[in-house]
Amino acid sequence: MNRIKEVLEEKGIKQTWLAEQLGKSYNMVNAYVQNRQQPRLEILYAIANLLDIDVKDLIISNKEN
């Protein structure tokens, strides 16, 4: 599971902008945002770089605190 949707909302960034920057279709980025599909690790790093955050901030931990 990822937090792409939350981070985009926090930063006020549109999915269309992210899709354009990644060279991906809007539908593919929307699948990532809705957690219907998970991006490959390289894409996750690219998203983190574009959003200027640590890649760990895009991932929902599977561990309890």
Classify residue 59: in a domain, yes or no. no
User: What global pTM score does this model have?
Assistant: 0.90
Classify residue 65: in a domain, yes or no. no
Structure tokens at 47: 């998203």
Q: Which residues contact 22 (CB under 8 A, 6 or more apart)?
A: 29, 43, 46, 47, 50
Domain tally for the chain? 1
Classify residue 64: in a domain, yes or no. no
Classify residue 60: in a domain, yes or no. no
- Position 23 scores a pLDDT of 98
Q: What letter does residue 2 receive in the DSSP assignment?
A: B
Classify residue 50: in a domain, yes or no. yes
Q: Domain range holding 50?
A: 4-54
Structure tokens at 60: 């929902």
Write out pLDDT tens, residues 1-36.
999 999 999 999 999 999 999 999 999 999 999 999
Question: What CATH number corresponds to the domain at position 42?
Answer: 1.10.260.40
